[in-house]
């Protein structure tokens, strides 16, 4: 049996569906919108609520606080660090030795040059710092008693796909509206990961269960530049997006103006100077190690096309969506 901890959310829902041929159970603080019949309610911050079913062979730990606006910030450490400690303790009690943990490329920090798994760790926010602390705890858990243990750390970049409401969705929605104007030259590249590829990679690691401690970045390659992303969306949505490009300096002035409006109105607006900076930066991560062992079933273009089809061309009749950054 595989126990998914945090399987009621975006990635977890796709993962459980991907593992439907296996015996799977879910533990989450929230009910599952799709798999409630195999879901137990439990919060990993409370070790008494972590129930590991008998015959569990593997645990996939997805549960995390990850949004940018979590308050108080201590929640990042309560869930991502202490929660991980609690899960490891319960694994020891239950004799479970196979763990897959989803970390994040946020542990590398900002403005890094295509870091691979050996790159220095320099997290800049509480999410990245808490994920790096959790990784170190898992590493110590393995090193102190490695016999028979299989540990896989997966550091994905931003994950997108159907039903997700995060930064990639907002970008796709803005471009597909046909009212999009490029800020900067559009040559900056962005690493992204399509959710169906991510869960297939997790499944691949579950099936192999290689003894030892392994770390993988996960990104779908090749990375698209902003110009290439716009072109893919134009083609799928049958659009002709204006080719006018706003200089970076002008975009930043606009961002500061929206910062001012946000401050005086007290409202969180979709445009800000920080978002303009992020939009114009190249954000790439090296995932050669993962792709040397795993062939993604979908190209990055496939993932974008499927997301556009689902969200904007033939949207679902239900209202089940997942929010993330």
Sign, Cα dihedral of 33, 34, 37, 38: negative
Task: Show the beta-strand stretches assigned E in the chain.
Answer: 2-5, 24-28, 39-41, 58-61, 98-102, 150-156, 159-160, 164-165, 182-183, 189-194, 212-218, 220-225, 245-246, 322-323
Q: How far is CA 91 from CA 6, 51, 85, 109, in A?
A: 16, 10, 10, 30
CB 40 within 8 A of CB 51: yes
Residue 325 clears pLDDT 80, i.e. is over it: no
Residue 239 clears pLDDT 70, i.e. is over it: yes
The DSSP string of 294-318 is ---SS-HHHHHHHHHIIIIIS--SS
Neighbouring-strand partners of residue 214: 152
- Which of these, 240, 236, 325, 251, lies nearest to 281 by C-alpha position? 251
Task: Render pLDDT for 247-283 as a digit per residue (tens, 0 to 9).
Answer: 999 999 999 999 999 999 998 887 889 889 888 999 9
Question: What pLDDT was estimated at residue 243?
Answer: 85
Question: What pLDDT was estimated at residue 285?
Answer: 97
- Helix orientation angle between 300-308 and 167-176, rounded to the nearest 10 degrees: 70
User: Rounded to whole angstroms, how far apart are CA atoms 288 and 284?
Assistant: 12
Is-catalytic flag, 127?
A: yes
Residue 312 clears pLDDT 70, i.e. is over it: yes
Mean pLDDT taken over the chain: 94
User: Cα Rg for the chain, rounded, in angstroms?
Assistant: 20
Residue 324 clears pLDDT 90, i.e. is over it: no
Task: Render pLDDT for 121-180 as a digit per residue (tens, 0 to 9).
Answer: 999 889 999 999 999 999 999 999 999 999 999 999 999 999 999 889 989 998 998 888
Task: Provide, rounded to the nearest whole percent, the portion of the chain with pLDDT above 70.
Answer: 99
Kindly state the average pLDDT of the residues 66-90: 89
Identify the active-site residue in 22, 77, 108, 127.
Answer: 127
Tokens linked to 12: 């977890």
- Which of these, 24, 89, 33, lies nearest to 53 by C-alpha position? 24
CB 30 within 8 A of CB 24: no
The DSSP string of 149-209 is -EEEEEEE--EE-TTEESHHHHHHHHHHTT---EES-S--EEEEEEHHHHHHHHHHHHHH-
Pick the residue with more confidence: 323 or 8? 8
What does the angle CA 241 – CA 318 – CA 31 come to, to the nearest 5 degrees? 120
CB 226 within 8 A of CB 190: yes
User: Rounded to whole angstroms, how far apart are CA atoms 288 and 300?
Assistant: 15
Question: What pLDDT was estimated at residue 190?
Answer: 94
Task: Render pLDDT for 170-223 as a digit per residue (tens, 0 to 9).
Answer: 899 989 988 888 999 999 999 999 999 999 999 999 999 899 999 999 999 999
Q: What is the pTM of this model?
A: 0.94
Question: What pLDDT was estimated at residue 26?
Answer: 98
* Domain architecture of the chain: domains with CATH: 2-162+191-222+285-297 (3.40.50.720)
Whose tokens are 């997108």? That residue is 160
């Amino acid at each position: 049996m595989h126990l998914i901890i945090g399987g009621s959310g975006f990635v977890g829902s796709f993962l459980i569906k991907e593992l439907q041929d296996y015996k799977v159970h879910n533990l989450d603080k929230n009910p599952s919108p799709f798999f409630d019949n195999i879901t137990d309610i439990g919060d990993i911050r409370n070790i008494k609520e972590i129930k590991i079913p008998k015959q569990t062979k593997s645990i996939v730990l997805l549960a995390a606080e990850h949004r940018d606006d979590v308050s108080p910030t201590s929640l990042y450490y309560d869930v991502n660090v202490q929660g991980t400690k609690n899960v490891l303790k319960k694994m020891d009690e239950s004799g479970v030795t196979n763990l897959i943990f989803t970390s994040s490329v946020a542990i590398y920090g900002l403005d890094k040059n295509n870091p691979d798994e050996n790159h220095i760790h320099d997290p800049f926010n509480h999410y990245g710092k808490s994920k790096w602390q959790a990784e170190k705890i898992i590493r110590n858990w393995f090193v102190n008693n490695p016999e028979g243990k299989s540990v896989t750390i997966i550091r994905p970049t931003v994950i997108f796909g159907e039903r997700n409401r995060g930064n990639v969705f907002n970008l796709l929605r803005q471009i597909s509206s046909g009212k999009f104007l490029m800020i900067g030259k559009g040559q900056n590249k962005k690493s992204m990961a399509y959710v169906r590829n991510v869960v297939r990679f997790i499944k691949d690691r579950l099936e192999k269960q290689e003894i030892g401690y392994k770390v993988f970045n996960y990104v779908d390659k090749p990375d698209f530049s902003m110009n290439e992303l716009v072109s893919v969306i134009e083609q799928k949505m049958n659009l002709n997006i204006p080719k006018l490009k706003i200089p970076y300096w002008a975009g930043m002035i606009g961002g500061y103006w929206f910062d001012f409006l946000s401050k005086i109105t007290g409202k969180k607006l979709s445009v800000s100077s920080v978002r303009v900076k992020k939009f114009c930066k190249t954000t790439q991560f090296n995932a050669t190690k993962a792709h040397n062992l795993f062939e993604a079933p979908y190209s990055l273009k496939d993932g974008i096309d499927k997301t556009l089809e689902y969200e904007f061309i033939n949207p679902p009749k239900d209202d089940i969506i997942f929010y993330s950054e």
